[in-house]
Every structure is written in structure tokens, then in C-alpha cells.
Amino acid sequence: MSLVNQGDQNLKRVLRTRDLVIFGLIFISPNSAQSLFGGLNFTSGGHGVLAIYVGLIAMIFTAVSYGKMASIVPKAGSTYSYATHSLNPTLGFIAGWAILLDYLIFPMLVYKLSSSFAIKLFDFIPLWGMLLLLIIPMTFFNYRGTKLSAHLNTIMLVIKLISVFLFVGFALYALTNEGGIGSLFNMQGIYHKETFSMNALIAGTSIAVLSYIGFDGITALAEDAKVSGKTVGRAAIITCVISSFLIGIQIYFATLIQAKLGSLKNVDTAFYDIAIAVGGSGLATATTIALVLTGTATALAGQASGSRVLFSMGRDGVLPSSLAYLHPKYKTPVYSVLILAVLGYIGALLIPIQVFFVIVVFGAIVGFIFVNVSVIIEFFVKRKERRGKHLLSNLISPVLGIGVCLYILVGMETIGQIVGVCWLLAGAIFLVIRTRGFQKDIGPINIEQ
């Protein structure tokens, strides 16, 4: 008997709207500004705040599209499932393959960043050991199921928010103590005429998008949710808006403080130096501990979402069916979770952080384009919903989402484009082999529940 035929092939529906928003905030992470600041500030030429909000524009349009698709395809797989349903199985596979690059790389990046900050406090632990200390418990939580992970996520979100408000409070005190209330309102935190470059801004936006990758992870958990697909989509939009404010305000104050400190000592851990500058070693230690703990929770969310995409593609037969095996008791895709954990460890150990920054967004952006196209085809073309508000949500919004995503793709660094294209080519080769040169169907696609 095939592994995938052992028991019920549906995930356990346990998550509520609150759980989904918390999951999204954990994945997006309000304090991700602290780990991304160095790379974002350096790449954008000091225009991190602008990059954050340019990224938000792209994400809002695309989040609306995810909401539309989640309302009619409330199943695991997210991007893959939507493109398969509204376009065709071949394009669905390409969309799923593209988004897998995001879900493979993103946890690696977060584990690497968290380990780098943790080693600042525990420099006697080597990188390989620190990675194991972070990855093993997170994999255990995903193995046990989304309900247990949801309880952990609530705790981690509280820690994240404390870290955010703690830094903002110290930054407010440091700036006003030196220059008065007026020092809090400074265009230098947003725009520098001398260093502004549209190319740098778009390159920075490709990193800023990392701050929002996670709203699509909410829709990947549609089969774990008790609520409707439409509510799942609404949770994605709410998550983006809340996160943009919390991330933007941290980047703004960090940029003002960085301008006083001078050049970055270490791009990867620049926020550590900023925390010391405004609150001493105590704040630096507190924010670092919070960053490490909550960073691993973000990786937990990424691993959970990625395993659902693998599960869905395995269940549909376009990837090995063993990926769809569910634990008899916990109803979790065991092999998918373990594969992502092993790959996450190896990648985090071997690949430099800056390389992660420039390649992780490619897969997500390509996947976002597919979802926007799916909305146009499904609602505007097939269902002919074209009048009034439908014109906005079914054509104008997704077209704008596609446009901004393409702009980010063209503007990202060359290595990210090269790795992304090579990944898509590898998927295309697999597809050709899988279908024997498109002589047979890709697999027994099963969209309906």
C-alpha cells in the first residue's frame, strides 16, 4: 500500500482567525527589522523606510489576490493550488516550484541570522552547534502539529512585540535626550538626496519584501484552518498592514541612529551595535535574545508553510507521494517537515547571509505573479466578473501587483536573478522528464475536497 493511502489525506482543521493573524505576524515578524536592517540599509543606500513601503505596495495588491483565490480554493498548497486550479497543472507546478525556492531558502536565512546573533552572546558555541540548538526544537513543534505551534506562536509574538517597543522606547529617549522632540522628525531617516538611487531603492526593496514574506504562508495553512478561505485572505492583508507599521518605525529610528554612529561595522549584525548605542549592553543582550528566540519561531512558520506546499504537491502526484504522508496521530506531513529541516540545516551552515538576501525573494515574487495572473483568469476571464468593484479587484489590482513584482525582479541583484532562473530551469527539466516530454499528464491533480 502507498504511504499516501494510509488514513485520511486531509490536514486537521484547528486554527482560528486569531491563530492565522498571529501565525502571519510570527512569519513576517515585527522585529525582523532588527535582523534585516544592516543588509537593507547598506543595499538601499540608507533608504530602508522607503524600501519597506514600496514593498508594501506590491504586497497589498498581491495579498488581495491571495484572498480572492483562498476564497475559492481553501486547501493547502497556496500558490501552487491556485495556479493549478485557475490556469493548468503545468503552470501550477511551475508556480509551486518557484515558491518552493522561497520556502527552502527563507528558513535557512532566518536560522543563519538567528545563529549569528546568538553567537554574539555565546561565542564558545560553533555555528554548526548553534544551528542544531535552534533547528531541532522547531522541527519537533512542526512534527507535533499546528495547534501546538499556535500556542508557541502566541508566546513568541508577545516576545517580539516587547522587543519592538523596548527598542523604540530607548531610541525615543536617546534621540530626544540629545536633540529634543524635534530630532524625532528628521527626513534623514527616510530620504538622503546624496545617496538616493532608484536602482539601489529597488535592490533594497527586494530585501524589504523579506519582511512581508509570510502573508502567503497564511494561505498555505488554509486546510489547517476552521474559518473560510475568504477569512484566511483577510488575515493575510491585516498581517501586512500591521507589520509594515511596526517594521517601518524601527527602520526609521535605526537609520537616524546609524547616521550618528557612522559606517556599519558588521552588516549582518548592525542592529546589535545600534542597540548598544541607545540602550547599552543590557538592551543589546535583551533584543538579541528576543531576536534569536523569535527568529527561530519565524523559521518554524516558514517550515510549516513549506511543508504544506510539499504535502499538496505530493498528494497531487506531481512530486513523490511520500511527501504527502500524514502522521497517524498528529496529522502533520512528517516527511515534508523533516526534509525542510535537513535542507535548512545544510543550507544555513554553508551559504553566506548576503547570498540568501539576494536569492530568497526571487521565488516568492514569481509565485506572487502567478497568483495575480490566476485572479485575472479565474474571475475576470472565466467568471466574467468585470463591473464596478469587480473591475478593481479582478483586473486593476492584480495587474498593478504584477507590474510592481516585475519591477522588483528586474531591479534585484544579478546573482539573485541567475540563481532564480536556474531554479526554474531545473523545475522545467523535472517537468519534461515527469511528463515524458509532455506526452502524458503531470499527475493526478486533485483540487476539489
Cα distance between residue 121 and residue 114, in whole Å:
11
The answer on pLDDT for 447 being more than 80 is: no
What pLDDT score was predicted for residue 377? 96
The answer on pLDDT for 444 being more than 60 is: no
Q: What is the mean pLDDT of residues 278-285?
A: 87
Helix (H, G, I), strand (E, B) or coil at 77: coil
What pLDDT score was predicted for residue 379? 95
pLDDT band for 5, please (50, 70, 90 cuts): very low
What the chain holds in terms of domains, given with CATH numbers, is: 3-369+401-434 (1.20.1740.10)
Contact criterion met (CB below 8 Å) for 65 and 373: no
What pairs with residue 378 in β-bridges?
none
What pairs with residue 15 in β-bridges?
225
324-375 pLDDT, tens per residue?
888 888 788 889 889 999 998 999 998 887 778 777 778 888 988 999 999 9
Which of 2-6, 281-285, 390-394 is least confident?
Answer: 2-6
Contact criterion met (CB below 8 Å) for 317 and 443: yes
**What predicted TM-score, i.e. pTM, was given to this entire model?**
0.76
Residues 6+ apart with CB under 8 A from 200: 43, 44, 45, 47
Helix (H, G, I), strand (E, B) or coil at 333: strand
